[in-house]
Amino acid sequence: MAYYYSEHSRTFSEYLLVPGYTSEECVPANVSLKTPLVKFKKGEEPRISLNIPMVSAIMQSVSNDTLAIALAKEGGISFIYGSQTVEDQAAMVAKVKNYKAGFVVSASNLKPDNTLGDVIDLVDEKGFSTIAITDNGESNGKLLGVVTSRDYRISRMSTDLLVKEFMTPIEKLITAPKDTTLKGANDIIWEHKLNSLPIIDEDGKLMYFVFRKDYSSHKNNPQELLDVNKRFMVGAGINTLDYDKRVPALVEAGADILCIDSSEGFSCWQKKTIDFIREKYGDSVMVGAGNVVDREGFLFLAEAGADFVKVGIGGGSICITRETKGIGRGQATALIEVSKARNEYYEKTGIYIPVCSDGGIVHDYHMTLALAMGADFMMLGRYFARFDESPTPKLNINGTYVKEYWGEGSNRARNWQRYDIGGKSKLSFEEGVDSYVTYAGTLRDNVEKSLYKVKSTMCNCGVITIPDLQKNAKMTVVSSTSIVEGGYHDVTLKSNNSHNN
């Protein structure tokens, strides 16, 4: 006879935090969100700690090099998606590690024989007003000119007009050589009252842009997540099939940490993958594993040597694993049990293995609940997919700006490696959907807003650190009518503006 759990499988929305005593020190400015990313022994410091409890999901529509750089600036880390060739993934990792703060690789590029219509489309898609015109239309091509919003007027010019007819040509641009320092670039920008400065090599090929608007932002990133060489930190996803080829390439590219991307982590395949890494690299290469939803699954991965453990099956907004396979568990219930197992393991062995809550975050307050329930950090997909820095284009659908978002288990991703249970070479059925999410703007602005809510709630609970929140938080299960009572009710709204993210 099957084993039956006595308690319900609950979600974050079924819980509320109960306020604690708020002292004078409990103000958001005093809250620290620093949290361990990898395991450590009692009395020692983890080799990697996050400055904010956020990592981005191992997904094609979420974690590329652009988002990884933006998130590292805020103090979190991205895991570059693994459902691509080994070479392409390693190249993305290398781009993050080689990124020079303040020096931006051009994300919007065209050729001289493109048209004004192409310019308009590219601005709508990327959201950037500065477009590099190169001989091959690539970010590293020979720079021939630049187009900004000052170079054209849609109402007065034909969309068929060639870019070379209205761009600002290279002869009229102020540029700087490749050995220019950031301070030197900013001095040139201020001296000549520029909005941007192209950095070119000795062959005239574009290397970077330095933007005037970035000057102050580079002084306002005290939370940056940097390695010992002052480079941004970045993670990468791996699978349980080609790890013998993928892991060495990612390590060579400079990945700071790896994570096995799988819909279900309580398997011999995950242990074999970790065993390979330990045999080849010892403890020098750190790797997270998962996903699991109970004590037994956590202990299996802990003993296998995982540096952190991901919790969650079927809770993601685009995941249909529960619907298609009838397997999974409510995210809150799973997280509570695994966190308890983590604490017991720490007491028994003296080794603390961080827990990552993956899935189920719908509203910002769910983040605080996840941390209070024991998560050391959260892996977020839908949340980050909405931002400028995610890989997908911004689209206008029926007057609303959206971005595409699809699951790694969807037919679009064709990520059959993620669902391997012993040698299958194709996706037998889908465990994710293809969708849109409402465009939300820049990562920086949204992360700052979300984490201010987390900090404020922690102060309401009388704590200013995540460990104290986990130790002292009080929670209550809510009824269905209590959930209704918690929102606006018995009133008529003046507008349709949502107050939730």
Position 59, amino acid:
M
Position 216, amino acid:
S
> Is cis: bond before 98, omega within 30 of 0?
no
d(CA 451, CA 43): 28
d(CA 410, CA 320): 9
3-class SS at 425?
coil
- What backbone phi and psi angles, to 5 degrees, belong to 125? -75, -50
**Which helix (H) or strand (E) element contains residue 438?**
strand 434-438
Total number of residues shown for the chain: 501
- DSSP-assigned letter for residue 164: G
Q: What is the DSSP string of 56-92?
A: E-S-TTT-SHHHHHHHHHHT-EEEE--SS-HHHHHHH
Q: Is 418 a catalytic residue?
A: yes
- What backbone phi and psi angles, to 5 degrees, belong to 357? -85, 120
Q: Which of 246, 329, 382, 418 is catalytic?
A: 418
Pairing mode of beta strands 196-200, 176-177: parallel
**Which helix (H) or strand (E) element contains residue 300?**
helix 295-304
d(CA 67, CA 55): 11
Pairing mode of beta strands 49-50, 35-36: antiparallel
Q: Is 319 a catalytic residue?
A: yes
Helices (H), 5-75: 65-74
CA distances from 405 to 108, 124, 297, 319, 455 (A): 21, 18, 29, 11, 28
Q: Which of 10, 246, 259, 319 is catalytic?
A: 319
> Which active-site residues does the annotation give?
319, 418
